[in-house]
Structure 1
Amino acid sequence: MIEFSAAASATTPLTFDPKRAQAIRLVVLDIDGTIAGENNEISPTVRAAVRAVREKGIQVAIATGRMFHSALRFYDALDLDLPLMTYQGALIQEPKTGKIHRHWTLAKSAALQLLDYFEQVDFQQHLSVHAYANDRLYVREVTPESQLYSDRTGVTLFPIGDLRPLIQECEPTKLLALSQNSAHIDSLYTHLRAQYSPAELYLTKSVATFFEATNPLVNKGTAVRYIAEELLGLSPHEVLTVGDNFNDIEMIQYAGIGVAMGNAPEPVKAFADWVAPDVESNGAAIALSKILLGEA
């Protein structure tokens, strides 16, 4: 049995028929805000829950907005073997063999338009802009926000000034704009959602201070569908997903059982079949234990 604190164990009853859990054959977990909290590590409690689930014959995978090499240490900590879904699912790659199952990049024209938009006077002074190409992180300059991002993720920054020549040379996997003022990100998100349709760009917020743009076919839902249906031959009702933010909505909707973390924004919780305790209370472990392991 996995040990939880008394406070963390006081969860609400399941809001769906527990018999649905008997069909689950695949669990997909987000990283930040789901299995890793403020300390940027996976707790022993979460690791134990994942191990117990796998011992029951249920497979486990990670779907994250992080870069591939930034997500690797979490993959290794859980001793996983399915392909790793990164960049919101834009890159699906096997860490052990290097095999790339999918790499959907952002069209150069769209990326250049976004750069122009980021550099408008309304946003330029507030934003740090990141371009991801070939699993490297390129920035115009090292800002305090970019440095904090680098320190947390362990990713090396490559400051190159104008990002346009890079994008002219190769299509980026993702563009990200970050600001410590979440109101600026909300404004950017609102403006661009009105300007671009879902068929043109996939736009999301992975945390309140991160605005992200990828190929329009990309989201965690399509990535989880690929792993479940194409690789494992499963149906949606055999999948359980756990996430905490707007970029997790599609995979929460796709899964037979979608779980939102207690620290998720209310609109995200609305899509979930059940809301777990927050990340600092080991909510992901509680969800796995309560739903799949039959522990109260």
Structure 2
Amino acid sequence: MHKVSTTELASPGIGNISTLDIQLLVVDIDGTIAGKSNTITTAVKQAIAAARSRGVQVAIATGRMYRSALPFHQEIASNLPLLAYQGAWIQDPANQKIHRHLPVSRELAHKLLDYFEQPELRSLLSVHFYINDELYVREITRETALYAERSGITPIAVGDLRQVTSNEPTKVLALCDDTNVIQQLLGNLRRQYTPAELYLTTSVATFFEATNPSVNKGAGVRYLAEELLGLQRANVMTIGDNFNDVEMLEYAGIGVAMGNAPEAVQAIAEWVAPDVEQDGAAAAIEKFLLS
């Protein structure tokens, strides 16, 4: 894809995509519309509102739990279904209808847990199972407590996580402050499981995430755009900041990476916006949808 720098002048379109074609804007939360403060700034909210006033529908696609993402969905006044858990859970807050739920199989969840509980890993990882939009953990670690505070979720400590898998988990997450551990985990498990078995990614450098193989934000955005709204990829613009956003950046007619995104994520985007702390999402919206 053609990558455009933040200093390039606005153009009427990219490649064969005209910005006039964009009817759906899909944004990530953390690192995209919410920075360190865990809030959406006035500038970003105003830009989203201006896009909506021009007829562009706006949705959220996030790795967060549905309940954790809902306040952000409400704050941007979205009237579309919310894509949570990387798109594994798509629910319409207006009528509570769950359009899609694709969990991890119980068998694979147990195998992941066996892997995480190896002696050399057990003390390093905080393991999260998400079941029925609740967060279950083995114990409340420091990493879990910080995660819960930012997410606004109360984790449920159960000791052995196998006892809660009578229902299949929507997502499995392993946290570690040591990013090298997370990268080794990702590499080892990608060699162990094919993309047809599990979707494996990182949403931030300290989060390893596993979902159903049919799940990623690109598939979720495609489902929202094409199945629910009758649009095509040329009608879609996406903004994201990390590796779990890659598929939706690749899918969209216009895919924008944040300035705080890893270089490999920036490389696949059509445009790189300023940093989240500089209201980069607002700059992207203004460039492509409001100019």
TM-score, normalization by structure 1:
0.94
Counterpart in the other structure of 1:155: 153
Q: Distance in 1 between matches of 2:76 and 2:222?
A: 21
Is 1:198 aligned to 2:195, yes or no? yes
Query: Which ranges of structure 2 fall in alignment gaps of 5 or more residues?
Result: none
Correspondence for 2:60 among 55, 59, 62: 62
Alpha-carbon offset, residue 284 of structure 1: 0.3
SS in 2 for 1:146: helix
Counterpart in the other structure of 2:28: 30
List aligned pairs for 1:160-239, cutoff 5 A. Answer: 160-167=158-165, 169-239=166-236
Residue deviations 1:152-198 (CA, integer Å, cap 9, x gap): 1110110000001111x110000000011111111101110111110
Aligned 8 A contact 1:14 1:274 in 2: no
Is 1:97 aligned to 2:95, yes or no? yes
Counterpart in the other structure of 1:254: 251
Counterpart in the other structure of 1:141: 139
CA RMSD of aligned residues (A): 1.3
Alpha-carbon offset, residue 260 of structure 1: 0.3
Alpha-carbon offset, residue 11 of structure 1: 3.5
Alpha-carbon offset, residue 122 of structure 1: 2.5
Residue deviations 1:191-222 (CA, integer Å, cap 9, x gap): 10111110000000000000000000000001
- Relative distance call for 1:16 and 1:251 in structure 2 (3 A) is farther
List aligned pairs for 1:17-56, cutoff 5 A. Answer: 18=13, 20-56=18-54
Deviates most, 145-154 or 11-20: 11-20
Residue deviations 1:206-240 (CA, integer Å, cap 9, x gap): 00000000000000001000110011111101100
Q: Distance in 1 between matches of 2:28 and 2:18?
A: 21
- Relative distance call for 1:16 and 1:256 in structure 2 (3 A) is farther
SS in 2 for 1:131: strand
The AA in structure 1 aligned to 2:152 is: G
Counterpart in the other structure of 2:118: 120
Is 1:13 aligned to 2:8, yes or no? yes
Which aligned segments of 4 or more residues in structure 1 are displaced greater than 4 angstroms?
A: 14-17
The AA in structure 2 aligned to 1:13 is: E
SS in 1 for 2:45: helix
SS in 2 for 1:27: strand
Counterpart in the other structure of 2:78: 80
SS in 2 for 1:292: helix
Alpha-carbon offset, residue 121 of structure 1: 2.1
Q: Distance in 1 between matches of 2:120 and 2:93?
A: 41
- Relative distance call for 1:108 and 1:59 in structure 2 (3 A) is same
Alpha-carbon offset, residue 133 of structure 1: 0.1
Aligned 8 A contact 2:257 2:269 in 1: yes
Query: Which ranges of structure 1 fall in alignment gaps of 5 or more residues?
Result: 1-9
SS in 1 for 2:39: coil
Alpha-carbon offset, residue 15 of structure 1: 8.6
Aligned 8 A contact 1:64 1:87 in 2: yes
SS in 2 for 1:262: coil
- Relative distance call for 1:162 and 1:14 in structure 2 (3 A) is farther
* Percentage of pairs with the same residue: 58
SS in 1 for 2:239: strand
Q: Distance in 1 between matches of 2:184 and 2:107?
A: 22
Aligned 8 A contact 1:240 1:256 in 2: yes
Aligned 8 A contact 2:171 2:210 in 1: yes
Aligned residue pairs, count: 284
Aligned 8 A contact 1:221 1:253 in 2: yes
Counterpart in the other structure of 1:131: 129
Alpha-carbon offset, residue 14 of structure 1: 5.4
The AA in structure 1 aligned to 2:173 is: L
